[in-house]
């Protein structure tokens, strides 16, 4: 961060989805010319990750609203719903992901938003995320894969 104060930026959501919300807010760093760098991983919004640059404008209520993605930064976002019956197992399955540079932020309840940095091997990370599903530690949802994925 360059020392610029962070601002709240609203991301539109479908309120008929399971979370019931019409918007999610994330922190963003103003870059000028209606561009902002996302400073945390979204919990519900799809197609956006930490450090991505977006275009946004203020609405009639002076709330900053997302318009479009300007540039992806190479991070990926995954969401985990920790299984209540496996709270002890979370740390066991999380530790190898942390070693690879992944970080997470806890949301309401058991929801976790995971940032996968560009330098991490996304195939290894995904295998570890799947191991947590198989080990009954969490359920998994992909919010955005910003890594270059080669298909054969």
Structural domains for the chain: 7-71 (no CATH), 76-144 (3.30.70)
Sequence-distant (6+) residues with CB within 8 A of 108 are none
pLDDT at 87 over 60: no
CB 107 within 8 A of CB 113: yes
pLDDT at 1 over 60: no
Cα–Cα distance measured from residue 75 to residue 146, given in angstroms and rounded to the nearest whole number:
5
Predicted TM-score of the model (pTM): 0.89
130: helix, strand or coil: helix
pLDDT of residue 18: 78
Q: Which of 108, 105, 37 is nearest to 66 (CA)?
A: 37
Position 86 confidence tier, pLDDT thresholds 50, 70, 90 = low
Position 35 confidence tier, pLDDT thresholds 50, 70, 90 = very high
For residue 28 the two structure tokens come to 């963003």
The pLDDT tens digits of the residues spanning 113-144 come to 999 999 999 999 999 999 999 998 999 999 99
């Amino acid at each position: 961060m360059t020392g610029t104060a962070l601002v709240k930026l609203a991301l539109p959501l479908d309120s008929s989805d399971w979370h019931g919300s019409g918007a999610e807010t994330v922190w963003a760093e103003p870059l000028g010319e209606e561009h902002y760098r996302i400073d945390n991983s979204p919990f519900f919004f799809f197609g956006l990750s930490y450090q991505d640059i977006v275009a946004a404008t203020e609405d009639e209520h002076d709330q900053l609203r997302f318009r479009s993605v300007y540039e992806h930064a190479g991070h990926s976002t995954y969401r985990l719903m920790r299984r209540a019956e496996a709270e002890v197992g979370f740390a066991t399955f999380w530790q190898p992901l942390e070693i690879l540079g992944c970080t997470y932020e806890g949301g309401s309840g058991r929801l976790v938003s995971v940032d996968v940095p560009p330098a991490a091997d996304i195939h290894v990370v995904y295998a570890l995320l799947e191991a947590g599903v198989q080990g009954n530690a969490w359920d998994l949802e992909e919010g955005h894969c910003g890594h270059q994925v080669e298909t054969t």
